[in-house]
């Protein structure tokens, strides 16, 4: 039979020859289905993808689809009364237009029975649809969904806007909660709000990152902290991710859950190894692949700079010509950033670029245009791979790294899973430019519960004493048996090394008179005060002489912050940073890095931590307190009103929001500002057509 299986695979990988006995072929596939062969579903999907070639055997094809449980692909008019009844059993409560496949239905039923579920399933499985169905069941008041990226926050928020009549969709920690809420948050945002919510049900997407340090220790630690806090609420949970063999739970074992591992697929993924003999041949092979397909193609690169370089190389080949429908967006990008930015050039010629350094609203535009067929190729990094849905038939894995690290087995499979799309592309194609990584033991550890020797102190400090092992208590003794900082301060700032926090506190204590004089400020610091806090942040939180997102000293950090404020716009900031003879795209990347990483994230976060640590010392010694909260929020908001950055995440560029601000007085309360944005009549404000389009696209999902 093995020879016949190889023959079936060969036949179904290309259009059927006229001499093929189609009935005999379907009979062999049916036999594999009846015996539960691992390749049976793959073969059924391949048959279904070319069902027009089996017109004389339509009923047999439909029966095979039904037998493997692919109910979403069935149409009512193709089914008998008995089959229609079976189909009804796979419809979703509260979402009657949705039909589950057999494996989804089993997971959903476990959840509706009140069980906790940890699901390992392929990327194309439809794990997110189960989240939607849980929400549609209307059984829970407060649902928390933890996603790995801000890009996925917006993707999920848009999808869940269908439930805005039942729930308030919350994506920011400082939004007010309603009676019933769905909170869609990254772990960094979730850690701020979990204790304020009575959580009934929670979801962690890409849960395998709980046991993985590939994203850096800090995010891994915070995700574990969030999981621990959520589990302690007693809420029901659904953890989902791909390619997990088992989970190692430690003290989590006293919590009952169903671990479900399935390889159920809704699309087929063909892998093609691309043979390359030299670096110069690499780009030629990619161009050949793109020239030989008219279907949407994702090209994975290891970093933003490699994605930009590849886009520039592809533009030299003039693959697609100018796309007229993209002209207005291209013109707007050039006017608001720089005329020579590679992103504008690429979009103009049908190539998108999606990575973490691009403005969020523009990244969303790239995905939108790609899904609409106005970008034929989308060059991306891991920020797109982590759950953002696209209509890609083909995926090219051009690099085999994430930044400078070798791509891991989980991420590799995740990237491959982006090829093909249910109802659009039944068969996807993956082109590998490097050898795939070796399969790892797909076992996920929950370190916050297993508490092995290598678990960081910054994770352990957030565990209740009753849940700590004797070994963990001993490791934490130097932090729990000191009176320099409170346990609350150490915990609140545990994204920073505990020893660094204590070192800072001791330095403040040692020179308290001098330090208090320069640190005791509120609202907005003067130049000396800003330089002083930046020096402390750099010395105790970042450290070293290494360049970090365009900064390599406390003095330079203060300079970058002041320069950004003085510039008044990202366009002017790019201009200020540009040096004669330097590639403008490097300057744009540097400027966007500073804006995203330092202005919007790292500096405000560090400043709040510095504030808390300093006040811990000051209050103990009877000194007046400092308050940096106003300035931290001001910097975080790009020196604009606080709603500007959330609007950007919703898909409204900062520049368009600033145009709206000239015409509308938005509330400083985010929820009220969002409702004002929803009710804006774009045709009455004298906006440019492209600006109207930005606003209307956002309004659709509020």
For residues 510 and 617, state if they share a domain: yes
Q: Is the pLDDT of residue 618 over 90?
A: yes
Assign residue 168 the CATH number of its domain.
Answer: 3.40.50.300
For residues 256 and 276, state if they share a domain: no
Q: How far apart (Å, rounded) are the C-alpha atoms in residues 39 and 48? A: 14
* Dihedral sign from CA coordinates of 121, 126, 131, 134: negative
Per residue in 65-79, pLDDT (tens digit) is: 989 998 888 887 776
Is 459 domain-assigned? no
Per residue in 44-98, pLDDT (tens digit) is: 999 998 888 888 888 899 889 989 998 888 887 776 777 777 777 777 777 777 8
Is 458 domain-assigned? no
User: 3-state class of 294 per DSSP?
Assistant: coil
For residues 296 and 423, state if they share a domain: yes
pLDDT of residue 6: 86
Q: Is the pLDDT of residue 334 over 90?
A: yes
SS3 content of the chain, % helix, strand, coil (to 5): 55, 10, 35
Lowest-confidence pick of 222-226, 275-279, 535-539, 694-698: 275-279
pLDDT of residue 197: 94
The neighbouring-strand residues paired with 377 are: 297, 351
The residue-averaged pLDDT of 204-214 equals 80
> Which letter does DSSP use for residue 96 in this model?
E
pLDDT of residue 208: 84
pLDDT of residue 1: 61
For residues 309 and 401, state if they share a domain: yes
For residues 232 and 277, state if they share a domain: no
Residue 566 neighbours by CB distance under 10 Å: 11
pLDDT of residue 329: 97
Q: How far apart (Å, rounded) are the C-alpha atoms in residues 503 and 499? A: 6
Is 625 domain-assigned? yes
Number of domains in the chain: 5
Q: How far apart (Å, rounded) are the C-alpha atoms in residues 135 and 129? A: 10
Half-sphere exposure of 209 (CA within 13 A, CB side): 27
Is 463 domain-assigned? no
Q: Please, which pLDDT band fits residue 423 given cuts at 50, 70 and 90?
A: low
Please answer whether residues 378 and 296 qualify as being in contact, where contact means their C-beta atoms are separated by less than 8 angstroms: yes
Backbone angles phi, psi at 75, to 5 degrees: -110, 145
CB neighbour list of residue 696: distance below 8 Å, 6 or more residues apart? 682
The neighbouring-strand residues paired with 269 are: 428
Is 73 domain-assigned? no
Which of residues 179 and 407 earns the better pLDDT score? 179
Average pLDDT of the residues of the chain? 90
DSSP assignment of 116-163 equals -EEEE--GGG-HHHHHHHHHHTT--SEEEEE-S-HHHHHHHHHHHGGG
Q: Is the pLDDT of residue 216 over 60?
A: no
Q: Is the pLDDT of residue 543 over 90?
A: no
Q: Is the pLDDT of residue 600 over 60?
A: yes
For residues 354 and 286, state if they share a domain: yes
Q: Please, which pLDDT band fits residue 441 given cuts at 50, 70 and 90?
A: low
Is 226 domain-assigned? yes
Q: How far apart (Å, rounded) are the C-alpha atoms in residues 561 and 161? A: 36
Q: Which helix (H) or strand (E) holds 332?
A: helix 327-336
Q: What range does the domain containing 349 cover?
A: 268-432
Beta strand 95-99 pairing with 91-92: antiparallel
CA-based angle 695:700:702, to the nearest 5? Answer: 90
Beta strand 142-146 pairing with 268-273: unpaired
Last residue of a domain, one of 206, 235, 261: 261
Is 680 domain-assigned? yes
For residues 298 and 421, state if they share a domain: yes
Tell me how far the alpha carbon of residue 579 is from its chain's centroid.
34
pLDDT of residue 424: 67
CA-based angle 491:148:103, to the nearest 5? Answer: 125
Half-sphere exposure of 466 (CA within 13 A, CB side): 1
pLDDT of residue 484: 94
Last residue of a domain, one of 234, 261, 288: 261
For residues 688 and 622, state if they share a domain: no
- CB-based burial of residue 464 (10 Å sphere; 0-12 exposed, 13-18 middle, 19+ buried)? exposed
pLDDT of residue 425: 77
- CB-based burial of residue 214 (10 Å sphere; 0-12 exposed, 13-18 middle, 19+ buried)? middle
For residues 295 and 238, state if they share a domain: no
Per residue in 139-167, pLDDT (tens digit) is: 999 999 999 888 889 999 999 999 999 99
Q: Please, which pLDDT band fits residue 559 given cuts at 50, 70 and 90?
A: very high
Is 472 domain-assigned? no
For residues 586 and 651, state if they share a domain: no
Per residue in 228-284, pLDDT (tens digit) is: 999 999 999 999 988 788 887 776 667 889 999 998 988 888 889 998 888 789 999
Please answer whether residues 393 and 297 qualify as being in contact, where contact means their C-beta atoms are separated by less than 8 angstroms: yes
Question: pTM (2 decimals)?
Answer: 0.92
Q: Is the pLDDT of residue 215 over 60?
A: no
CB neighbour list of residue 317: distance below 8 Å, 6 or more residues apart? 287
- CB-based burial of residue 332 (10 Å sphere; 0-12 exposed, 13-18 middle, 19+ buried)? buried
Q: How far apart (Å, rounded) are the C-alpha atoms in residues 697 and 571? A: 24
Residue 625 neighbours by CB distance under 10 Å: 14
User: 3-state class of 413 per DSSP?
Assistant: helix
pLDDT of residue 358: 93
pLDDT of residue 288: 93
pLDDT of residue 422: 64
The residue-averaged pLDDT of 633-658 equals 95
Q: How far apart (Å, rounded) are the C-alpha atoms in residues 631 and 634? A: 5
Please answer whether residues 341 and 315 qualify as being in contact, where contact means their C-beta atoms are separated by less than 8 angstroms: no
pLDDT of residue 586: 94
For residues 277 and 251, state if they share a domain: no
Residue 41 neighbours by CB distance under 10 Å: 23
For residues 139 and 54, state if they share a domain: no
Last residue of a domain, one of 636, 657, 686: 636
């Amino acid at each position: 039979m093995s020879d016949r299986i190889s023959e079936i695979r060969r036949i179904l990988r290309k259009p059927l020859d006229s001499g093929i006995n189609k009935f005999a072929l379907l009979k062999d596939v049916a036999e594999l289905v009846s015996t539960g062969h691992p390749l049976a579903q793959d073969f059924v999907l391949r048959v279904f993808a070319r069902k027009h070639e089996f017109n004389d055997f339509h009923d047999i094809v439909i029966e095979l689809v039904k037998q493997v449980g692919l109910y979403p692909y069935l149409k009512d008019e193709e089914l008998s009364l008995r089959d229609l009844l079976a189909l009804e059993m796979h419809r979703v409560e509260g979402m009657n237009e949705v039909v589950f496949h057999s494996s989804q239905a089993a997971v959903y039923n476990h959840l509706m029975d009140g069980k906790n579920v940890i699901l390992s399933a392929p990327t194309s499985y439809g794990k997110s649809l189960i989240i939607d169905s849980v929400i549609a069941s209307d059984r829970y008041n407060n649902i928390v969904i933890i996603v790995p990226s801000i890009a996925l926050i917006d993707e999920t928020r848009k999808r869940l806007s269908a439930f805005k009549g039942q729930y308030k969709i919350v994506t920011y920690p400082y939004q007010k909660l309603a009676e019933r809420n769905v909170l869609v948050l990254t772990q960094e945002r979730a850690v701020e709000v979990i204790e304020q919510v009575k959580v009934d049900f929670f979801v962690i997407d890409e849960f395998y990152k709980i046991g993985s340090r590939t994203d850096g220790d800090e995010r891994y630690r915070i995700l574990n902290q969030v999981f621990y806090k959520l589990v302690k609420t007693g809420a029901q949970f659904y953890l989902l991710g791909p390619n997990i063999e088992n989970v190692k739970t430690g003290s989590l074992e006293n919590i009952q859950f169903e671990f479900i591992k399935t390889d159920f697929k809704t699309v087929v993924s063909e892998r093609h190894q691309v043979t390359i003999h030299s670096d110069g041949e690499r780009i030629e092979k990619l161009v050949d692949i793109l020239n030989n397909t008219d279907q949407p193609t994702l090209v994975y690169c290891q970093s933003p700079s490699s994605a930009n370089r590849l886009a520039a190389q592809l533009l030299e080949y003039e693959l697609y010509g100018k796309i007229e429908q993209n002209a207005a967006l291209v013109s707007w990008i050039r006017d608001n950033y720089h005329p020579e930015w590679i992103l504008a050039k690429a979009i103009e010629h049908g190539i998108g670029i999606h990575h973490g350094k691009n403005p969020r609203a523009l990244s969303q535009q790239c995905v939108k245009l790609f899904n609409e067929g106005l970008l034929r190729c989308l060059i991306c990094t891991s920020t797109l791979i982590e759950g953002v849905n696209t209509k890609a038939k083909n995926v090219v894995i051009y690099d085999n790294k994430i930044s400078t690290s070798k791509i891991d087995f989980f991420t590799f499979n995740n990237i491959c899973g982006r090829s093909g799309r249910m109802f659009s592309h039944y068969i996807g194609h993956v082109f590998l430019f490097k050898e795939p990584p070796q399969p790892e033991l797909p076992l996920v550890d929950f370190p916050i519960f297993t508490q092995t020797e290598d678990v960081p102190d910054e994770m352990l400090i957030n565990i209740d004493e009753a849940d700590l092992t004797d070994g963990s208590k001993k490791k934490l003794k130097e932090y729990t048996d000191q009176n320099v900082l409170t346990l609350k301060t150490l915990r609140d700032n545990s994204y920073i090394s505990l020893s660094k926090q204590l070192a800072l506190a001791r330095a403040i204590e040692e020179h308290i008179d001098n330090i208090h004089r320069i640190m005791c400020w509120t609202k907005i610091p003067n130049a000396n005060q800003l330089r002083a806090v930046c020096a402390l942040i750099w010395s105790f939180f970042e450290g070293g002489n290494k360049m970090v997102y365009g900064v390599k000293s406390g003095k330079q950090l203060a300079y970058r912050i002041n320069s950004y404020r003085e510039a008044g716009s990202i366009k002017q900031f790019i201009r200020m940073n540009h040096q004669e003879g330097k590639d403008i795209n490097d300057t744009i990347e540097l400027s966007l890095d500073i804006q995203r990483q330092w202005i919007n994230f790292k500096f405000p976060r560090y400043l709040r931590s510095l504030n808390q640590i300093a006040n811990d010392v000051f209050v103990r010694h009877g000194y007046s307190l400092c308050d940096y909260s106003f300035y931290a929020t001001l910097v975080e908001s790009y020196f604009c009103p606080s709603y500007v950055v959330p609007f950007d995440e919703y898909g409204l560029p900062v520049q368009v929001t600033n145009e709206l601000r000239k015409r509308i007085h938005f509330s400083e309360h985010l929820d009220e500002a969002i409702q004002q944005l929803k009710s804006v009549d774009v045709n009455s404000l004298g906006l440019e057509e492209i600006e109207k389009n930005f606003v209307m696209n956002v309004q659709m999902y509020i």
